[in-house]
Amino acid sequence: MTTLDFTSTSADGVRQAAEPVISVTTIVANLGGHPAVSVPMITGETPDVNWTWDYLAEPAGFFGITMPTRDALRFALERFDSSATSRETRRRIVAVTIMLVEVNGGAQFVITGVPVRQFDPAAVCVAVGPDSSWLAPGAAEPLWRRMAARTSSQGDVDQLSRSLNGDDFVDQVGRLDQSMIGPPALGALVFGHGDEFIGLESPRAASVLALMERCGAILSGTITRASDFVAPAAASSAWWISPSFEVHPAACIGDVHYLRDEIDSGLIPPFLGSLA
C-alpha cells in the first residue's frame, strides 16, 4: 500500500504532498481537535457528500468550527477522485480520509487517500479478551467522548493496534461467556453460516460495513447485522474487515479456528462487490 502523492483541499483543489497543506502551528494548536472521517471510495465514483458533511458537522459544531458548504466538500471530493482515477489503470478501492482544518482564519476540507486491496488473502487472527473496554463510544457515552472519536485524535486506537500487532493479532473482541463474543474494537467481523453472512462491529457512528455497502465494495443486503453478540464456533468461516476497508480471512478468533482449505485457497467471499 502506498499513500497517494497528492491531497485535495476545498480551497485550492489538488496540491502536491510536498507542499505543506497545514502549518505546524495549526496542527500543534489544535492537536486532536480536527473533525475527521475515513470512508472507502471506488475510483471513478465520488463518496456520499451529504452523509460525509453531516458526519463532520456535529463535531465541528462541538469544537466551534464553522463548516464550509456542501458544495465545497463536493468540489474537493470530485477533484480528489479525478486525480486518483487518472493515476489508476483499473478501478480500485481507496481509503479516503476527510479532515476539517482551520487555515488562515477559515476552515477547509483536506482530503488524503491510500489505495487498498478489496480482498487480501493473508489470514489474520483476532484476540479474545475479558471485556470490550476498547470499543468505540456508544450513544450512552458523554457527548465529549463521542465527539472526540470523530476527530483526528486516535492515539488510543493506535496504541491498541500496536499492542495487538506485537502479539500477531489484528483486533480484539470481548468475551460474554464461554461461547459468545462481542464486537471487535477496531474493525468488523463477518461470519459465514452456509449461504448466510452475519456482520458484527461496535456501534460507532461511521460503520465499516455500512460504508463499504454504500460505496459498492460490499453487495447490498448480503450481510445481516448481529445485535450485540455472536457464537463464533457456530460459523463455518469468518472474515475480518480492517478500519482501512481491507477484507481478510480469519484464521482464528481466540481458540476457534476456521476452515483451513478455504483460507489457503484464497477464495473471495461472495458478499464482496465487483470492481470490474
Under CATH, which architecture does the 6-116 domain have?
Answer: 2-Layer Sandwich (3.30)
- If one compares 145 and 223, the residue with the highest pLDDT of the two is 223
Q: What is the pLDDT of residue 239?
A: 95
Mean pLDDT of 54-76: 92
Q: Where are the beta strands (DSSP E) in 81-135?
A: 93-103, 106-116, 124-129
Distance CA(91)–CA(276), nearest Å, equals 7
User: Where do the structural domains in the chain lie, given as residue ranges?
Assistant: 6-116, 124-265
Q: Which DSSP category does 35 fall into?
A: B
Q: What value does the mean pLDDT take over residues 30-41? A: 81
Rounded to whole angstroms, the Cα distance separating 196 from 235 reads: 10
**Fold topology of 124-265:** D-amino Acid Aminotransferase; Chain A, domain 2 (3.20.10)
Residue 222 Cα to chain centre, angstroms: 19
For residue 176, what pLDDT is reported?
Answer: 82
Please provide the DSSP assignment of 123-159 as one string. Answer: -EEEEEES--TTSPP-TTS-HHHHHHTTBS--HHHHH
Crossing angle between the packed helical segments 70-86 and 49-62, to the nearest 10 degrees: 130
pLDDT at 1 over 60: no
Please give the pLDDT value at position 134.
Answer: 56
pLDDT tens track for 130-148: 765 555 666 667 777 777 7
**Res 74: pLDDT:** 94
Burial of 91 (0-12, 13-18, 19+ CB in 10 A): middle
Whether the pLDDT of residue 258 is over 80: the answer is yes
Query: Mean pLDDT over residues 52-62, rounded?
Result: 93
Mean pLDDT lowest among 49-53, 129-133, 253-257:
129-133
- Asked whether residue 50 carries a pLDDT value surpassing 50, the answer given is yes
What is the predicted pLDDT for the residue at 139? Answer: 64
Write down the pLDDT at residue 14.
Answer: 46
User: 242-251, pLDDT tens digit by residue?
Assistant: 999 999 999 9
Q: What is the dihedral of CA 200, 149, 40, 97, to 10 degrees?
A: -160
The lowest-confidence range among 26-30, 38-42, 150-154, 174-178 is 26-30
Share of the chain above pLDDT 70, in %: 80
Hey, what's the cell of 35?
473533525
In the chain, DSSP assigns E strands to 6-9, 13-16, 36-42, 93-103, 106-116, 124-129, 171-175, 181-184, 188-193, 196-201, 223-225, 237-241, 247-253, 256-257
Query: Which residue has cell 472474515?
Result: 239
Taking only the tens place, the pLDDT of each residue in 89-124 is: 788 899 999 999 887 778 899 999 999 999 999 999
Go through the chain and tell me how many residues it has: 276
261-273 pLDDT, tens digit each: 656 657 889 999 9
Please say whether the dihedral angle defined by the alpha carbons of residues 94, 192, 226 and 164, taken in this order, is positive or negative. Answer: negative
